[in-house]
Each structure stands twice: as C-alpha cells, then as structure tokens.
C-alpha cells in the first residue's frame, strides 16, 4: 500500500499547471481531491511520475450565475455544491447529487471536476452533468475547447481529455420555465458509490405533461449515459404511472449491464427501472 516514487508540484495558477503538464503529458497526473487517484497509486494501479496538485488554485473553485448559464469551477467541492443556496433555487439537481456522495469527509475534500474527469462507472456526477446537458471547458497546451458531457465519457475510466489537458469549468444552461429535477440512487453499502444512479431533468408543460426529458444513468454500464429510450417515451406524454413505468423499462436499452459480487447485470437493470420510475415521479412532483 505504498505508492511508487513520484515528483510533486503545487502550481499557484492554471497557466502554470498547464505548463507543468505540457512538460510531461504522459507521465503527469492531476491531483484535486485525491479520493480516486491516491488509492490507485497505493495499489500501484497508477504510477505517475509527477503529481500536479491544482487544489490550491483558488480561481478554479466557484459557483456563478452569468446571464443564462451556471458556471462551476473544476475544484469546487461536493460540499460547496451541496450547500449552495443559489443552486438549490435554480438547479436543485446538483445539490441533490452532491449530498448523496460518500460521507462528510469525502464531500469536504472531493471535487466535481475530479469525479467527472475520472469517469468512474459508478460515479454520481457524470449522470448529473449528462442529464443537464452540460458543456465541459477543457484547457491544454493548444488552448481551450468545449466538449458536450454526452461526448466526454468514452469508456471505463476513459474520457475525451487529451494528454496535457485539464478540465477547467462545467457550464450548464440555466433551467427556465416549468421544470423538475431529481437524483435517485442505490448506494453500495461499503463505498457509497452508485450501484445504480438516475438523474432526471424534466421540462414540463403548463398542464403537467412532459415537454422534454433528459435522463442520466450511472452504475449500470461501463460509463454514464443518456437513456434515450426513456426520454423518447416521455416526450409529449402525460406523466401518469403507466406511462412512467413503460418509459422506465427502456433504461437499459442497448447497454451491457455490469455484473459484480454485489449485483448481477439482470438485477442492476431491474434496479435501474425502479429508480428511473422514482426519479421521474420525484421530478414531476417538484
């Protein structure tokens, strides 16, 4: 449980961090909260030559509303998101997701950017940013670029981040009109990670019917994904119990569900259907 030898740098600015990564794009790793990287290093599953600690870069930790967007810095902690009065008013899905993560110690240290960039198949934040159709701002030696959350998660622990790039900011369109949101999960009893996690964002018509649905799923497949079959079944429909149940039946469409010691793939899909129903029911009642 002792990591391999490594160098450590704690840059004061984002520009300095990018420069350090550019010097060794294949051997350097970003350290933010450390809850995923440090255990992997102790097991020697990860052996970076250089750790670039961005946790002290104050300009990366913020929650702001600008015009019609919500801007979240990559090193914003789970607790900061959980306790944000602004987000509770304008985007409650984010505090709902944050409060379900780990324990108090984890939420005070872990960061949203670290979780998103790690792309753990059981991580909570990927489902939320997908359901909110977020844009992810990346910065690297070749400048800045923006990637949709739906395109960012590539595979197991694999994202669209290129060598030398840092996730800088998460941008979310401020919800408008009548809408409802919910995050529902089955936490693993030991780790707190999502055996199944469902993030639901519903745009509602004046009569309560569904104008548009966005459903993010984690814990089921090798990466977080949009449940497009569920969304299609809800679009334009009245949100009665039968319609919701029929839509939720599509949550695992086209997905090879994970099997492990805790849950078989078949059981995961059954849980996903139940918790999709619960998430939609909770979102429509907001």
Q: Please return the burial class of 127, using the count of CB atoms within 10 Å of its CB with bins 0-12, 13-18 and 19+.
A: buried
Residues of the chain short of pLDDT 50, as ranges, are none
What is the reported pLDDT for 200?
98
Contacts 24+ apart (CB under 8 A), 147-152: 150/226, 152/116, 152/119
> What phi, psi does 98 have (nearest 5°)?
-60, -45
Q: Give the right CATH number for 61-173 from 3.10.20.30, 3.40.50.300, 3.30.465.10, 1.10.275.10.
A: 3.30.465.10
Domain boundaries, the chain: 7-53, 61-173, 179-284
User: CA 176 → CA 66, 69, 90, 263, distances in Å?
Assistant: 14, 11, 9, 38
Q: What is the pLDDT of residues 109-134, one digit of tens each?
A: 999 999 999 999 999 999 999 999 99
Quote the pTM value: 0.96
Q: Is residue 60 classed as helix, strand or coil in its secondary structure? A: helix
CATH number, span 179-284: 3.30.390.50
Q: Please return the burial class of 48, using the count of CB atoms within 10 Å of its CB with bins 0-12, 13-18 and 19+.
A: buried
Q: What is the pLDDT of residues 163-211, one digit of tens each?
A: 999 999 999 999 999 999 999 999 999 999 999 999 999 999 999 999 9
What is the reported pLDDT for 35?
86
What is the reported pLDDT for 12?
94
CATH number, span 7-53: 3.30.43.10
In angstroms, the CA 91 to CA 86 distance is 8
């Amino acid at each position: 449980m002792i990591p391999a030898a490594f160098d450590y740098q704690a840059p004061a600015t984002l520009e300095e961090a990018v420069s350090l990564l550019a010097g060794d794009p294949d051997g350097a790793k970003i350290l933010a909260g450390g809850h995923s990287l440090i255990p992997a290093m102790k097991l020697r599953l990860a052996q970076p030559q250089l750790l670039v600690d961005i946790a002290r870069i104050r300009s990366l930790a913020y929650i702001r509303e600008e015009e019609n967007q919500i801007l979240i810095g990559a090193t914003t902690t789970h607790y900061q998101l959980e306790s944000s009065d602004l987000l509770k008013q304008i985007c409650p899905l984010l505090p709902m997701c944050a409060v379900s993560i780990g324990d108090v110690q984890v939420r005070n240290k872990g960061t949203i950017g670290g979780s998103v960039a790690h792309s753990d198949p059981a991580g909570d934040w990927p489902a939320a940013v997908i359901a909110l159709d977020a844009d992810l701002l990346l910065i690297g030696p070749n400048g800045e670029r923006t990637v949709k959350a739906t395109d960012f998660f590539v595979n197991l622990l694999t994202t669209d981040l290129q060598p030398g790039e840092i996730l800088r900011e998460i941008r979310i369109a401020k919800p408008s009109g009548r809408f409802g949101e919910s995050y529902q999960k089955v936490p693993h009893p030991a780790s707190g990670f999502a055996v199944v996690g469902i993030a639901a964002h519903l745009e509602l018509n004046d009569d309560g019917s569904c104008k548009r649905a966005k459903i993010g799923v984690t814990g089921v497949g090798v990466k977080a994904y949009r449940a497009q079959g569920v969304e299609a079944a809800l679009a334009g429909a009245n949100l009665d119990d039968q319609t919701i149940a029929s839509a939720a039946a599509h949550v695992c469409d086209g997905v090879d569900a994970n099997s492990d010691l805790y849950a078989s793939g078949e059981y995961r899909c059954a849980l996903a259907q139940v918790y999709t129903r619960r998430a939609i029911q909770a979102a429509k009642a907001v």
